[in-house]
Amino acid sequence: MSRSSDAFVAQDERSQRLLVHKLPEAHLVERMPFVLGQARGRRVIHVGFADAGYREFHVAEEQWLHDHLASVATELVGIDLDVDGVAEAVARGYEAYAADCCDVEAVAALDLQSADTVIAGEIIEHLDDPGGFLDAMHELCASDGVLVITTPNAYGWVNPAALLAGYEVNHPDHIAMYTWRTLSQMLRRHGWEIVETATFVPSVKPAAGTGWKLRVLGLAARVLLAVERLVARTVAPFAADGLIVVARPAKP
């Protein structure tokens, strides 16, 4: 067993009984530069690229990942369920397709050349069928390529702090939160092997609503993330609120 793919294996009988799993080695990174590094000079397929609900904000702030990927990839294709977002991207000159990325047959029907890097940024936590999604990614990824997943980290510190004020910090469309263990298990069950793990500290987006409590919460989140960044860099990388895994198709 490799450390990267099976680092969670319990070390003794007691830890097995307690369901305690050792975390793998990981390092804190900046999300955008890390993902761009995985895409540089490669053919890239970016799934969930349209960023529905936040695209306008990210474009205005020059933070839309798809725009940045276009500057480093040799080829870039976008796939998203958001028909309007796909149409807008095509109008801007991008190659993009509307498809349900949880549907293996629908993805296969696109008949796309496989990619060196498939990027699934902040999408798996939105999906009703993450297993179907990971199966479908095999239709897009070359046998020697990689799948890059970024997602909120259930270990992160923001929500434990927010609950003290009676709040949960979450995208309105999220339906799941992953730990490294649960995400690695999901990947393994669907034919993927993790080759690298990293964490990142996300930025604080403007909160919907007004009132002093939300303003205080926003300030507290910024302070907490600064502390979180220091701890994740020096002591415990999984204290960070963002998780990245790089996986490759498992060998038969």
- Quote the CA–CA distance of 95 and 122 in Å, as a whole number: 21
**Phi-psi region for residue 209, left (φ > 0), alpha (ψ -120 to 50) or beta?**
left
DSSP state of 241: S
Q: Which helix (H) or strand (E) holds 151?
A: strand 141-152
Q: How many CB atoms sit inside 10 A of residue 74's CB? A: 11
Number of domains in the chain: 1
CATH code for the domain of 235? 3.40.50.150
Q: What's the mean pLDDT when you consider all of the chain?
A: 87
Which token pair is 152?
A: 């909120």
- Quote the CA–CA distance of 148 and 197 in Å, as a whole number: 10
- This prediction has a pTM of 0.86
Order of strands, edge to edge, in the sheet holding 95-98?
27-28, 192-200, 242-249, 141-152, 115-121, 43-47, 75-80, 95-98
Contact 42, 52 (CB under 8 A): no
pLDDT at 12: 47
Segment 6-36, tens digit of pLDDT = 443 444 455 455 678 889 999 999 999 999 9
Segment 193-219, tens digit of pLDDT = 999 999 999 876 555 555 666 666 667
Which token pair is 136?
A: 């479908």
Contact 28, 232 (CB under 8 A): yes
Name the nearest CA neighbour of 67 among 43, 90, 88, 94.
94
Name the nearest CA neighbour of 24 among 209, 249, 175, 243.
243
Can you tell me the mean pLDDT for 78-89? 95
Tell me the residue range of the domain where 113 lies: 3-249
Contact 29, 102 (CB under 8 A): no
Q: Could you identify the residue written with the tokens 């397709």?
A: 97
Which token pair is 135?
A: 């199966």
Segment 121-170, tens digit of pLDDT = 999 999 999 999 999 999 999 999 999 999 999 988 888 877 887 878 78
